[in-house]
Amino acid sequence: MSTLASTLSDEQPLIGMDIGGSCVKRKHEMIRHMVVLVDRVDYVSAQYTERPEHPLAAIIRSPPEPFVWGTKKAVRRLEWFGDGEHERVVYALWFSISDFPQFAERVKKDRESKTMHTVRVAATGGGALRLLKEIEEMLGVELVIVDELKALTSGWRVDAGESAKYPALVCNVGTGVSLVSVGAALGVYERVSGSGIGGATFWGLVRRLTQFTSFSDAVVAAAHSGDPGRADTLVGDIYGVETSKAIGMPADLVAGFLGKLETGNATDADVVAALLRMVTSNLGQLAVFQARLMGASEVWFTGGFVEAASEAAKNTVHQAIVEAVSFWSAGAIQTKFPPDALLLGALGAVASSLNKD
């Protein structure tokens, strides 16, 4: 039985929210709000047709305009349990901060209906703390605030399921980087390391050094036409190709990230490619060293930087991380990405608010 399904009951929290603090301040394409709706009970037996439905079922069936939600799709359908006549269903919604008041008004209206049950909301993320009073006022409820790492690890347990190996190392890359050791027992986790070289570093340097204004456009351009070797100083630039071979070092090995920027020969795509290699190389090195200390055979990567805005950009970031981990571990440590990585915080907020993890 899945962790989330086994902890929920009919009257438990129904909404989990994950609001990133840095995302609240940005106005570009990055996802700024995320909500997970946990369907109370989805009855499949005719004898239950008279039971009151989930308070937010109407929103799932018919989201108000102008939201662009994939609400009709069950992002995560949990296992059947109990007497086999009902199951849990998780729906995911994400939208911008500017759209939140409209969503809140719909939630408030539904919960005031006499036929509806009370709606409870569990929230995590820096944005949830910054906007706490505002969100509570709009929703008409008191938020249950869940620590970010607790929500992350709880959500990761639900999402990874039986595929997880313990001890597990989860590397969360958002504004900065947190490496979290997760034990086999529920609720056992510890932030064991971290770095200030993360998503904010990458994006800040991209904006400062190039003309790109879109995260996805920058990363995709780097993948299609960027050559990091035109921006980085390579071993071959110092020793020459033949001498590099003679001393047993690959000529294309990075000797100094961004060391050739002064030449002015690098394009914007080259610079982004070099920045991506620099940040992911640092991630790979930290993760591999920590995994070795823990005796972990794999590292799970998640966070806003890892789950980039577009599918093409995400694939590029994932590939860069895989290559970095493979390089630093000589192929001995596996790189893993949670199936529903964007949902971990919100899933974990719901699960953690029940004091089960």
Output the domain CATH number for residue 325. 3.30.420.40
Residues 55 and 169 in one domain: no
Comparing CA positions, the residue from 104, 95, 129, 96 lying closest to residue 21 is 129
Q: What would the pLDDT profile of 125-145 be if each residue is shown by its tens digit?
A: 877 887 788 888 887 778 889
Tell me whether residue 12 is in a domain: yes
Supply the CATH number for residue 112's domain: 3.30.420
Residues 76 and 109 in one domain: yes
Residues 217 and 312 in one domain: yes
CA distance 189 to 167: 10
Answer whether 350's CB lies under 8 Å from 4's CB: yes
Beta strands at 86-95 and 144-145: parallel, antiparallel or unpaired: unpaired
Tell me whether residue 88 is in a domain: yes
Tell me whether residue 97 is in a domain: yes
Q: In 3-state terms, what secondary structure has residue 302? A: strand
The token pair at 297 is 């055979």
Domain with 279 in it: 165-231+266-338
Answer whether 320's CB lies under 8 Å from 287's CB: no
Answer whether 91's CB lies under 8 Å from 39's CB: yes
Residues 76 and 206 in one domain: no
Residues 134 and 175 in one domain: no
At 217 the pLDDT is 95
The rounded Cα 58 to chain-centroid distance in angstroms is 27
Does 228 sit behind a cis peptide bond, omega within 30 degrees of 0 on the bond before it?
no
The residue-averaged pLDDT of 38-63 equals: 42
Q: In 3-state terms, what secondary structure has residue 16? A: strand
Continuous H helices in 1-99: 3-7, 21-25, 57-61
CB atoms within 10 A of CB 68: 11
CB atoms within 10 A of CB 355: 8
Residues 208 and 109 in one domain: no
Residue 355 pLDDT > 60, yes or no? Answer: no
Domains in the chain: how many in total? 2
Residue 261 pLDDT > 50, yes or no? Answer: yes
- The distance between the two most distant Cα atoms of the chain, rounded to a whole number of Å, is 80
Residues 126 and 185 in one domain: no
Comparing CA positions, the residue from 279, 278, 304, 282 lying closest to residue 174 is 304
Q: What would the pLDDT profile of 175-213 be if each residue is shown by its tens digit?
A: 899 999 999 888 899 999 999 999 999 999 999 999 999
Query: Cα separations (Å) of 20 from 160, 306, 330?
Result: 22, 14, 34
Residues 115 and 227 in one domain: no
- Amino acid identity at 342: L
Comparing CA positions, the residue from 53, 54, 71 lying closest to residue 62 is 71
Continuous H helices in the chain: 3-7, 21-25, 57-61, 100-111, 126-130, 132-139, 148-160, 199-209, 215-225, 235-239, 241-246, 268-294, 311-329, 344-353
CA distance 156 to 298: 14
**pLDDT: which is higher, 5 or 210:** 210
Tell me whether residue 189 is in a domain: yes
Burial, 125: exposed, middle or buried (Cβ in 10 Å; 0-12, 13-18, 19+)? Answer: buried
Residues 45 and 183 in one domain: no
Tell me whether residue 160 is in a domain: no
Tell me whether residue 20 is in a domain: yes
**pLDDT: which is higher, 239 or 82:** 239
Tell me whether residue 157 is in a domain: no
At 66 the pLDDT is 37
At 84 the pLDDT is 44
CB atoms within 10 A of CB 225: 13
CB atoms within 10 A of CB 247: 8
Given pLDDT bands bounded at 50, 70 and 90, which one contains residue 52?
very low
CB atoms within 10 A of CB 113: 11
Q: What would the pLDDT profile of 141-170 be if each residue is shown by its tens digit?
A: 788 899 989 999 988 987 887 788 999 999
Answer whether 291's CB lies under 8 Å from 168's CB: no
**pLDDT: which is higher, 268 or 116:** 268
On average, the pLDDT of the chain sits at 77
Q: What would the pLDDT profile of 306-342 be if each residue is shown by its tens digit?
A: 987 688 999 999 999 999 999 999 999 999 998 878 7
At 83 the pLDDT is 41
Residue 248 pLDDT > 50, yes or no? Answer: yes
Given pLDDT bands bounded at 50, 70 and 90, which one contains residue 22?
low
Q: What would the pLDDT profile of 68-114 be if each residue is shown by its tens digit?
A: 333 333 334 433 333 444 445 566 666 666 667 777 776 676 666 64
Residues 52 and 8 in one domain: yes
The token pair at 249 is 């070092």
CB atoms within 10 A of CB 331: 9
Residues 137 and 204 in one domain: no
Residues 49 and 79 in one domain: yes
As a whole-number percent, the residues of the chain with pLDDT over 70 amount to 68
The residue-averaged pLDDT of 273-294 equals: 97
